[in-house]
Amino acid sequence: MLPGAGTRPPLSVAAHLTVRGPRSVTVDTPIGLLSVVTTDRGVVATLFDDEDAAAELERLERRLGAGVRGAPRELVRLRREVDAYFAGRGRSFATAIDLRLAGRGFERRVLEVTTRIPFGELWTYGDVAEAAGSSRAGRAAGNALGRCPIELFVPCHRVVHADGSIGGYGRHEERKRWLLRHEGRA
């Protein structure tokens, strides 16, 4: 017997075979190709084609501890949700989100609060910070939103500065402007 053998219950082969790894689907949108990565819990990341997709995907796979495989047939419903949003027929997403790659504590609360901002409504960074439990942490809320791995599904684009300016949006201000115009808020 090997050292340490028998100290843990054996892994069921059937259980191992039913675990599905991260999957992705790429959707052509008016603002570029959008790759949506999901786990069994929900959408875990989004990547637009203006980002270094190969490097981002590699980083994502390291963080998830598994390779991401394309699964356009499995994710047809998700693709339809994204298509409906960009066609003006959808205002929210039914697909769950998986915040495992988001920060903890305040950062995670910021993202959770942001998911509740309705289509077409704007909040300030201060509004989000207050709703997340720290009314004086608007800048920290902005930093948390800037690191959000799930663009669109966590509608960071609906959060602006108190003076109405749009903020940095991860160096993708034009994308944020487009999304705000799409939702009738620009």
- 138: helix, strand or coil: helix
Catalytic residue status for 156: yes
**String of DSSP letters for 125-168:** HHHHHHHTT-TT-HHHHHHHHHT-S-BTTB-GGGEE-TTS----
Active-site residue, from 60, 148, 156, 159: 156
Pairing relationship of beta strands 23-29 and 69-70 according to DSSP bridges: parallel
Q: What is the side-by-side order of every strand in the sheet holding 69-70?
A: 43-48, 32-38, 23-29, 69-70
Active site residues: 156
